Chain A
Amino acid sequence: MKSELPVFNLDYRPDTAGHFGGYGGKYVSETLMAALDDLNLAWQKLRKDPEFLAEFDYDLSHYVGRPSPLYHAKRLSAEVGGAQILLKREDLNHTGAHKINNTVGQALLARYLGKSRVIAETGAGQHGVASATVAARLGMQCVVYMGEVDIHRQAINVYRMRLLGAEVREVTSGSATLKDALNEAMRDWVTNVDNTYYIIGTVAGPHPYPQLVRDFNSVIGREARRQMQEQFGCLPDALVACVGGGSNAMGLFHPFVDDTDVPMFGVEAAGRGLETGQHAAPLTAGRVGVLHGNKSYLMDDDNGQILHTHSVSAGLDYPGVGPEHSWLKDTGRAEYVAIDDKEALAAFHQLTRTEGILPALESSHAVAYAVKLAASMPTNKLVLVNLSGRGDKDVHTVAELEGIEL
Chain B
Amino acid sequence: MSRMNRLRQCFDTLATTGRTALVPFVTAGDPSVDTTVDIMHALVDAGADIIELGIPFSDPMADGPVIQLSSERAIERGVSLTTVLDNVHSFRQNNQNTPVVLMGYLNPLYRMTFSVFATKAATAGVDAVLVVDSPPEESSEFEACLKQADISMIRLVAPTTTAERMRLIAKNAGGFIYYVALKGITGAGSSNNETASSLQRIDTMRELSGLPVAAGFGIKDAESAAAWAQVADAVVIGSALVTRLAECSSSEQACDTVKSFLAPIRTAMDNVHK
B68 at interface (Cβ–Cβ under 8 A)? yes
Task: Specify which chain A residues have a CB less than 8 angstroms from the CB of B134 in the assembled complex.
Answer: 27
B122-156 interface with A by 8 A CB criterion: 132-135, 137-138, 155-156
A259 at interface (Cβ–Cβ under 8 A)? no
The answer to whether A33 touches B161 (Cβ under 8 A) is yes
The answer to whether A187 touches B61 (Cβ under 8 A) is yes
Task: Specify which chain B residues have a CB less than 8 angstroms from the CB of A303 in the assembled complex.
Answer: 80-82, 108, 111
Task: Specify which chain A residues have a CB less than 8 angstroms from the CB of B188 in the assembled complex.
Answer: 191
- In Å, the complex CA distance between A194 and B159 comes to 11
Task: Specify which chain B residues have a CB less than 8 angstroms from the CB of A25 in the assembled complex.
Answer: 137-138
Return B140 CB to nearest CB of chain A, in Å: 11
A238 at interface (Cβ–Cβ under 8 A)? no
With A27-B138, A31-B160 already in contact, the answer to whether A305 and B75 are too (CB < 8 A) is yes
The answer to whether B160 touches A300 (Cβ under 8 A) is no
A114 at interface (Cβ–Cβ under 8 A)? no
The answer to whether A28 touches B135 (Cβ under 8 A) is yes
Return A292 CB to nearest CB of chain B, in Å: 7
The answer to whether B64 touches A187 (Cβ under 8 A) is yes
B183 at interface (Cβ–Cβ under 8 A)? yes
B222 at interface (Cβ–Cβ under 8 A)? no
The answer to whether B185 touches A190 (Cβ under 8 A) is yes
- In Å, the complex CA distance between A115 and B10 comes to 44
Q: Chain B 96-115 against A: per-residue CB contact (8 Å), 1 yes, 0 no?
A: 00000000011111111000
B192 at interface (Cβ–Cβ under 8 A)? no
B59 at interface (Cβ–Cβ under 8 A)? yes
A308 nearest CB neighbor, chain B only: B58
The answer to whether A174 touches B59 (Cβ under 8 A) is yes
The answer to whether B81 touches A174 (Cβ under 8 A) is no
The answer to whether A183 touches B61 (Cβ under 8 A) is yes
A169-228 interface with B by 8 A CB criterion: 173-174, 179-180, 183, 186-187, 190-194
The answer to whether B138 touches A304 (Cβ under 8 A) is no
A289 nearest CB neighbor, chain B only: B107
Task: Specify which chain B residues have a CB less than 8 angstroms from the CB of A173 in the assembled complex.
Answer: 65, 68-69, 72
A193 touches which of B111, B112, B183 (Cβ 8 Å): B183
A303 nearest CB neighbor, chain B only: B80
The answer to whether A187 touches B185 (Cβ under 8 A) is yes
Task: Specify which chain A residues have a CB less than 8 angstroms from the CB of B185 in the assembled complex.
Answer: 187, 190-191
B188 nearest CB neighbor, chain A only: A191
The answer to whether A26 touches B59 (Cβ under 8 A) is no
What are 28 A-to-B residue pairs whose CB atoms are below 8 Å? A27-B134, A29-B62, A29-B132, A29-B158, A30-B156, A30-B157, A30-B160, A30-B165, A33-B135, A34-B161, A174-B58, A174-B68, A187-B185, A191-B184, A191-B185, A193-B160, A290-B106, A291-B107, A298-B107, A300-B111, A302-B111, A303-B80, A303-B82, A303-B111, A304-B57, A304-B81, A305-B80, A306-B107
Q: A29-B61, A34-B161, A187-B63 given. 13 additional CB < 8 A pairs?
A: A28-B61, A29-B133, A29-B135, A30-B155, A190-B183, A191-B185, A289-B111, A293-B133, A300-B107, A303-B108, A303-B111, A304-B108, A304-B112
